[in-house]
Amino acid sequence: MTKFDLVSIAKAGGSIVIDATKYTKFDLVAIASALQNNATLELNNAGTKTKFDLVAISNANPGAVTFNI
């Protein structure tokens, strides 16, 4: 799926589990920002991103993102 597909799903209220290696930091920030109330983003293989990337993604929607390292 593309970033745009996932942003649409997030805007519709869906929770999403994806492989972090397939998307850029900017893609993941956009997806996290689009999440609605009580929806979550779970990122598998998040250990491939830098600490700064993970902080930026977290800041996009605090409390809604889970990292599986």
pLDDT, residue 39, reads 99
Residue 42: CB atoms within 10 A of its CB come to 15
The residues that bridge with 19 in the sheet, in sequence order, are 44
pLDDT bin (cut points 50, 70, 90) of residue 59 is: very high
Residue with tokens 């997806």: 31
Q: Are 35 and 64 in contact (CB under 8 A)?
A: yes
Average pLDDT over residues 59-65: 99
* Average pLDDT value for residue range 57-66: 99
Q: Give the mean model confidence (pLDDT) for residues 23-28.
A: 99
Distance CA 55, CA 51 (A): 6
Q: Work out the mean pLDDT of the chain and round it to a whole number.
A: 99
pTM of the entire predicted model: 0.97
Torsion angles phi and psi, residue 64, rounded to 5: -105, -5
